[in-house]
Chain A
């Protein structure tokens, strides 16, 4: 009898749980990767959103960056993606994005995020898709202590790549530093310098192109072979694998390291008092521009979500000026929100050197070439980044001449564009 009563109670309890379940939680999965502490900060901010929206449970799935690049597109194609994610292939995943237009104040978004909204738009899909949470810009870190020890004057604003190469060679020679210069092994990183040397990246019809890339390619290969550039970074890897020279710079082995604003936190933490470092504006090239390359990451929702309204509300919540300003300050990223940028950001826990570096990067944004902005929003840019790395590396190690490498790059690009949607 007692057993029967227990069974009845258990059954009733289970049924109650099932009946109640749908009204309890609307589970939202947020696929997130961190360069620093971004996911941790979003998780904290979204706890406030959950408090304001009873029944909504936002689960921040922290994944490696590689999962965003490789697994997310496959999940989306198979219809098993998350509700929202932090992405860097901004235009490339456009076909899956949830259009936020019906759910947000578009006037506020236009006024706040301006041109970065275009990076998420492709073809006739011209809605509001992405909240650019992390604006980055490429640029050089310079070891000021080595300059001082060598007694060489640091080139000033408007200096060219050649002037920097000459100065850093002199510094490296005087101080016995291993490498005068280094650039991350990434197609994105060389885009700014390439534009300064005349790369156009687009043909007359608006398709991706390596037109005008040759002068930079020749210079870059030459510098890798004459010891101006750290050859290890580009030559010791294969394929389109990313490699950086941050550790070499931190170790004091590189005089001039071209990377980007996302490295400021790392430099701040790991260089410490070891030497004085500073960020200078991107050098100029023979073609004129002194351009870095913008970039970064943004939060997007996906059409396949079962809760489009909540997903849009979450993104809109993160886009509000006070929330955005807090996230920017805590994650120590450059703001893409014009209001937050113009008000200035007091980066949390940043040393004076880091604060100065972030300000230097922010002020260099005005020098970014329109080609660079357009290239960043181009849906085929990932293909072009990969091709750039693979073919330039082959030219550096001598498998191809620079001319052959650029011919192959053009062929690779036309094949990639033909296969893309």
Chain B
């Protein structure tokens, strides 16, 4: 087997040596990078450029050649508001409703999810009975498809769902959870936390296990209490991992679409319509298809995500520099 590989390598070696002589050793690196660069350019960089170009064109035509250039008009439409806090005062009110829904959703979902993930990770890091089983239980929802998650909860929460059947049985009486805007939003946050917290719990658990035991032993010898140990040792040493979790959860939160779209369709009204659903509906589901407006909205979201990523880098560097 080894001899076959070395024979093949000898065959490959000949043109490689020739190529190296021709290009020089520094330029040869580009030859190896080229396939990846082509793929990256074609499937990542080019779509971004196209997105920028589409955002500056109008009409409902698909082909760029049929779309007139309209400058920053799409951005103007999205940002035309007399009061950004009141979507009703905005020309594209549905965009701002989606923006505010997303901000509220991300704030609540990330806050609750990171808090619960930390709590769960701390508990699962202790020497409790059936620890492996509980770790699997918390991670299991992560393995489910977002549409499956949405359907399971829809069956539970709909008017004639499992929860209402139970409430009827207890005599409390059912409630139309998905028709009330506040309840639909609250359940959306809950479902999203339920579906994703296992993933973040796993990361935090790995972070907890990386903290050296001797630090805790020293704390015990110094008679530090459990809360003080957690606050003074666990949290500071876990902060780099927490930062990663926080930024990942924030970015994922802003990108929320599939499970909530399948769960509520964005309703009641626009109560659970988030920014990605707005983009999808403008560009693909609505009539006419406003690709330009959708592209402009997606660039604004991309801008927000870039800011979040830069904030992560800044915070990370700050924590490394002390």
Q: How large is the interface on B (under 10, 10 to 19, 20 to 34, 35 or more residues)?
A: 35 or more
- Bound form: Cα–Cα A393–B55 in Å: 29
Query: What residues on A are CB-neighbors of B34 within 8 Å?
Result: none
Other-chain contact of B60, A238, A390, A400, A421 (Cβ < 8 Å):
A421
**Does B273 make an interface contact (CB < 8 A)?**
yes
Are A383 and B270 touching (Cβ within 8 A)? Answer: no
**Does A149 make an interface contact (CB < 8 A)?**
no
**Does B264 make an interface contact (CB < 8 A)?**
yes
Are A78 and B63 touching (Cβ within 8 A)? Answer: yes
**Does A111 make an interface contact (CB < 8 A)?**
no
Stretch at the interface among B120-128, B173-181, B216-224: B173-181
Q: Kindly provide the distance from the CB of B28 to the nearest chain A CB, expressed in whole angstroms.
A: 39
Query: What residues on A are CB-neighbors of B88 within 8 Å?
Result: 400, 404
Are A238 and B285 touching (Cβ within 8 A)? Answer: no
- Bound form: Cα–Cα A235–B183 in Å: 13
| Chain A: interface residue total (CB-CB under 8 A) | 36
Query: What residues on B are CB-neighbors of A236 within 8 Å?
Result: 158, 176, 178-179, 184, 264-265, 267-268
Query: What residues on A are CB-neighbors of B289 within 8 Å?
Result: 73
Are A419 and B271 touching (Cβ within 8 A)? Answer: no
- Bound form: Cα–Cα A45–B284 in Å: 34
Closest 5 CB pairs of A and B: A238-B266, A238-B267, A77-B62, A397-B269, A382-B287
- Closest partner residue, chain B, to A73 (CB atom): B289
**Does B117 make an interface contact (CB < 8 A)?**
no
Query: What residues on B are CB-neighbors of A169 within 8 Å?
Result: none
Other-chain contact of B62, A74, A231, A408 (Cβ < 8 Å):
A74
- Bound form: Cα–Cα A382–B288 in Å: 8
What secondary structure prevails in chain A residues at the interface with B?
helix
Query: What residues on B are CB-neighbors of A408 within 8 Å?
Result: 93
Other-chain contact of A419, B60, B272, B281 (Cβ < 8 Å):
B60
A sample of 15 inter-chain contacts (CB < 8 A) reads A70-B284, A89-B287, A231-B176, A236-B184, A237-B266, A238-B268, A238-B273, A382-B287, A383-B286, A386-B286, A390-B94, A397-B267, A399-B271, A404-B88, A419-B288
Are B264 and A240 touching (Cβ within 8 A)? Answer: no
**Does B290 make an interface contact (CB < 8 A)?**
yes
Are A394 and B269 touching (Cβ within 8 A)? Answer: yes
**Does B239 make an interface contact (CB < 8 A)?**
no
- Bound form: Cα–Cα A89–B287 in Å: 10
Are A383 and B287 touching (Cβ within 8 A)? Answer: yes
Query: What residues on A are CB-neighbors of B287 within 8 Å?
Result: 89, 92, 382-383, 385-386, 416
Are B268 and A397 touching (Cβ within 8 A)? Answer: yes
- Closest partner residue, chain B, to A66 (CB atom): B285
**Does A166 make an interface contact (CB < 8 A)?**
no
Q: Kindly provide the distance from the CB of A333 to the nearest chain B CB, expressed in whole angstroms.
A: 24
Instruction: Mark interface residues in B49-86 (1 if CB within 8 Å of A CB, else 0).
Output: 00000000011111100000000000000000000000
